[in-house]
Amino acid sequence: MKESTAMQNLPPYLFARIEKKIEAARQQGLDVINLGIGDPDQPTPEHIIAALTRAVHDPANHQYPSSVGLLRYRETVASWYQGRFGVELDPGTQVISLLGSKEGIAHISMAYLDAGDVNLVPDPGYPVYGIGTQLAGGTSYLMPLKEENGYLPVLEDIPAQIAQQAKLMFINYPNNPTGAVADLDYFQQVVEFARSYDILVCHDAAYSELAYDGYQSPSFLQAPGAAKVGVEFHSLSKTYNMTGWRIGWMAGNREAVEVLGRFKSNVDSGVFQAVQYAGIAALEGSQDGVADLQKMYQERRDAAVEGMRQLNWSFQSPRGGFYIWVKVPSGFTSTEYCEMILEKAQVIITPGNGYGQYGEGYFRIALTVDASRITEALQRIKELL
């Protein structure tokens, strides 16, 4: 049976390839240090697990959930936005639960695009922005993220003809893979741009709660008028070490929330209610664990920065997220350099071209192993080089 054209044109997912390389190395008995995949290595906090356990034993949670999510969960998300950002949301019309933010990011294109429609997609960027566009039959217009521009899309460089055709615009700060951040002034520029061309802005804020040196990430929805032109995707994965739990949300524009809710009601049956109660416990409970997590990642970042400076690598120390974006030394492509580091030092780093054509010449390091292993990995590379 022949697969669809969209599937034939779909490349293997970047991290699936990396996982195969890791498995092959480990089968050879090698001690591989994985600085490649952004999957937190810490356990989910106990009070969240306890909330899940209680909810699992309630038979009321064993039936089909609402496709848009428990009102109680959406109320908690709205309350969190009010407390964290001073943003007011109507939980009934401006919040929808997701099976992790990745699911919503992929499906929003299917809910809005017709064949041939255009999305504005950052490059380098999280692969799902472009993959969702492709699966929906759309076309990605790439917005280059360049170091000289602070890894922000230059809105003035987007041709008016393209902007007039565009349906969605994806942005993501703190950014994966570059570690860049954006301020409210920039978000306000995005709001004005989107209003001018009738574009729905989709801000991926999965890393907003991981910030260092006293920095606090703003929400796109804090920008005046943002909820009229955009939505924000968020996830409990990185903030509370819940990547495997698959729970997040989309918030903001009422029409977009209704459209995605209508789409989801036809393709999935929502998040298991017990997991939603665990999400409520995460957002309403003590946030001391989040502060501890920020401190831990900052220690890891500092250890990485110290070791990388000894290697004379060119990079910017991130203020948010848990990635460091590094220039490949001259004489190598991104893939060649990463494969050499894996084969000779048994350290996984991610080639930048896996995040798009403008990622060529870079690689990404994830701070998802403890500081001692980061130091060991960089020492191995130092000895190799």
**Fold for domain 46-284?**
Aspartate Aminotransferase; domain 2 (3.40.640)
Domain boundaries, the chain: 5-43+288-384, 46-284
Q: Give the mean model confidence (pLDDT) for residues 37-46.
A: 94
Instruction: Answer yes or no: is pLDDT of 228 > 70.
Output: yes
Burial of 63: CB neighbours in 10 Å, binned 0-12, 13-18, 19+:
exposed
Q: Give the mean model confidence (pLDDT) for residues 53-76.
A: 96
Give the number of other Cβ atoms within 10 Å of residue 363's Cβ: 27
Per-residue pLDDT tens for 88-125?
999 999 999 999 999 999 999 999 999 999 999 999 99
Q: Give the mean model confidence (pLDDT) for residues 27-36.
A: 89
The verdict on pTM exceeding 0.85 is yes
The arrangement of secondary structure in 5-43+288-384, i.e. its CATH architecture, is Alpha-Beta Complex (3.90)
Q: How confident is the model at residue 60, as a pLDDT?
A: 95
Q: Give the mean model confidence (pLDDT) for residues 196-206.
A: 98
Rounded distance, CA 194 to CA 207, Å? 23
Residue 365 bridge partners (DSSP):
324
| pLDDT interval class at 24 (50, 70, 90) | confident
Rounded distance, CA 52 to CA 282, Å? 10
Q: Give the mean model confidence (pLDDT) for residues 221-229.
A: 98
| pLDDT interval class at 13 (50, 70, 90) | low
The rounded radius of gyration (Å) of the Cα atoms in the chain is: 21
Q: Are 33 and 347 in contact (CB under 8 A)?
A: yes
